[in-house]
Structure 1
Amino acid sequence: MGAGFGALALPLARRLERVTAVEPSAPMVAALRRAVADGGLDNLEVVAAAWGDRPLAPHDIVVCAHVGPLLRRGAPFLAELAGLARRSVVLVRDAPGGDDKFFFSELYPALRGRTYPRACGHAAEALHAVRTLGVRPRVTEITYRSDQPFASLEEACDFWMTYMGLEGDGPRAYLRDFLGRRLCRESGGWLAPFRKRAAVIAWDV
C-alpha cells in the first residue's frame, strides 16, 4: 500500500508468488511499471489508485510503509485491515535517530527562511493507532540505508528545487554549490547518502 517506486514491492516480487502494489502517484506508477517490465516481474500487479478508490481482494500479507494518512488513529485503512489481510500485517514508520532528511535542517533556513520541522513521533503515533484497535503488535526498530541516486548534479538540483518549492537562478546556484560539496560522486552519477531508522509494526490476524 503506497508502493512508491517499488522499494519494497520489487524485491518482494522476486521472492513471492504474487504481489499487488497500490500507488496513487502517476509518475511513481510509471516508474514502477518500467521497473516491473525491465525486471520481467509478471507476478507484480500495479494498481494505480489511492486506498479506497478501488476494491481490493484479500491478500495473505498487507504491507504499508511510510504512508502517514493511512496509519493515523481513526484511519479507515487501519479499521479495514482485518478484512484485507488473511495472515499478517506489516506497517513501517519513521523512528527517531536517522540522518537529516535531504539536508533540510541546513537548507530550509538558507533558502526558505525558516527551520524545517522534523517530525519524530510517526512510529509512536502509528503504534498508538494500532493499539486502539485492540491489537498488540510486535515492534522492531531497524536502521537502513535510503540513499538517493542522481544521474547528474543538475538532476539533483531539479529534485531539491521541486521538493522545496523553489524557483529562480539564485536558489539553484546555491543548491549547485551546496550539493556539489555534500553529495558523493559515484560511478555514473551522484549519491545523496541517508541513514534512516524505522519501526516495523507487525501482527498476525
Structure 2
Amino acid sequence: MTSANGASLSSIETWMSRVAAHHAQSISVMDVTRRTGDFWAGFATSFRDDPRRTDDAVLNRLSEFVDENDTVLDIGGGAGRLAIPLAMRTRSTTVVEPSDSMVNELRLAIGDAEVENVDIVESGWEEASVEPHDLAICSHVVYGVEDITNFMQKLHDSARSRVAIVSYMESPQAHLAALWEPVHGDTRINLPALPELVNVLWEMDIYPDVDMMPHRRRSPFESPEAAFDQIARRLFIGGNPVREERLRAALPDYLEPTSDGYVIRGSKPARQGIVHWRTDI
C-alpha cells in the first residue's frame, strides 16, 4: 500500500489507514442514530456458549496456556464465551468489555454457570485500568482497532506470561463485501485481519507463533427474509427505502440455498488462528 505521495506505507501505517478508511466509509452511509450507542444491542445473546463444552478447539488450545493458579485477562470478552470456561480452570478471569448489552449477557451467563471468580471491567481497552494477569487473550476484537500499536503494547504489558489473540484470516464481514457495491455504489473496504496483524507485530519486534484452528462453518440464514434483515443491518441500510430496494434486487444473485438454510454464494468457511507469544522471555 502507498501513501498519497507514492511512498510505501509500513505495515502499521497500512493497518491504520485501512481501518480509518473502512470506518469513514461506514459512517458515510450510516444513519445518524447508529453512529453512537451500543452496536451489539440485539446481537449480544448470540455470543453466549456452553461453558462446559469440550469440542471448541480454540478454547481447548487456550486452556493449555494456563493452570489452576493462573489468572486470565479477556479484552473485549463479550458475553463470556471464553472467560467463563477459563474461569472454571484457573484462579480467576477478568473481562474488559465496553458494551452494555454484552455486559448484561455476561452477568446472566456468570449466574447460569454458577461461577464466582469472573470480574468485569466495563470499559474499552484503551481506557481500562487493570493489573497484569498471567494470560491476556483477545478474541475477534482487533480488526477495527485503528491505533493498533498502542493497543498491542498495552496487551503485551498486561500479560505476565503470554498473550493470545484469536483472529480470522479475513475480517468477519468480508464475505458480505460483494453486496456493498450494489447497495451503496462503491467497493467495500474490508478491515485487516490475521495476516496483517502478524506483519504489525513483526514491525513491533514481536515474533509470535500462529496456531491455525479448524475452520468454522458460517451459520446459514434461515430464509431469504432472514438474510435480508441481517445483511441490511450489517450494510447500515437503516430503513432507507432506496437502499432496501437495491438489496432486495441484488440478494437473489448472492444467496445460495443449502440443505439447512441459505448462504452467501461462493463464501468459504471461516478460517481462524491463535496468534500468541511469551512475554516473560
TM-score, normalised by the number of residues in structure 2: 0.55
The alpha carbon displacement at 1:101 in A equals 3.7
Q: Structure 1: give runs of 5+ residues left out of the alignment.
A: none
Asked if 1:113 is matched to 2:185, the reply is: yes
190-199 or 63-72, larger mean C-alpha shift: 190-199
The alpha carbon displacement at 1:25 in A equals 1.7
Asked if 1:39 is matched to 2:113, the reply is: yes
**2:217 and 2:269 in contact (8 A); partners too:** yes
Question: 1:1-205, aligned counterparts within 5 Å?
Answer: 1-66=75-140, 67-68=142-143, 70=145, 75-96=149-170, 101=173, 104-119=176-191, 121-145=192-216, 147-148=218-219, 157-166=228-237, 167-168=239-240, 171=244, 174=248, 195-205=269-279
TM-score, normalised by the number of residues in structure 1: 0.72
Provide the rounded CA distance (Å) in 2 between the counterparts of 1:13 and 1:202: 20
Alpha carbons of 1:105 and 1:129: their partners in 2 closer, same or farther (altered >3 Å)?
closer
The alpha carbon displacement at 1:132 in A equals 3.1
1:72-130 deviation line (CA, Å, top 9, x unaligned): 65x2232234431111111223315x9x84851443234333333344x5223322222
Number of aligned residues = 198
Provide the rounded CA distance (Å) in 1 between the counterparts of 2:116 and 2:263: 31
Provide the rounded CA distance (Å) in 2 between the counterparts of 1:140 and 1:71: 25
- Equivalent position SS for 1:57: coil
Alpha carbons of 1:158 and 1:49: their partners in 2 closer, same or farther (altered >3 Å)?
farther
108-117 or 57-66, larger mean C-alpha shift: 108-117
**1:72 and 1:125 in contact (8 A); partners too:** no
- Equivalent position SS for 1:54: coil
Aligned partner of 2:28 in structure 1 is none
190-199 or 34-43, larger mean C-alpha shift: 190-199
Provide the rounded CA distance (Å) in 1 between the counterparts of 2:155 and 2:181: 41
Provide the rounded CA distance (Å) in 1 between the counterparts of 2:178 and 2:188: 8
The aligned amino acid for 1:124 is P
Query: How high is the sequence identity, in percent, across the aligned residues?
Result: 26
The aligned amino acid for 2:165 is L
The alpha carbon displacement at 1:16 in A equals 2.9
**1:147 and 1:191 in contact (8 A); partners too:** no
1:133-155 deviation line (CA, Å, top 9, x unaligned): 33322122234326458899877
The alpha carbon displacement at 1:197 in A equals 1.4
**1:72 and 1:126 in contact (8 A); partners too:** no
1:146-178 deviation line (CA, Å, top 9, x unaligned): 645889987765443322111146728829x85
Q: Structure 2: give runs of 5+ residues left out of the alignment.
A: 1-74
**1:63 and 1:89 in contact (8 A); partners too:** yes
Provide the rounded CA distance (Å) in 1 between the counterparts of 2:230 and 2:150: 32
Q: Would you tell me which structure has more strand in proportion to its own residues?
A: 1
Alpha carbons of 1:163 and 1:69: their partners in 2 closer, same or farther (altered >3 Å)?
closer
Alpha carbons of 1:57 and 1:155: their partners in 2 closer, same or farther (altered >3 Å)?
farther
**2:96 and 2:128 in contact (8 A); partners too:** no
The aligned amino acid for 1:45 is D
- C-alpha RMSD of matched pairs (Å): 3.8
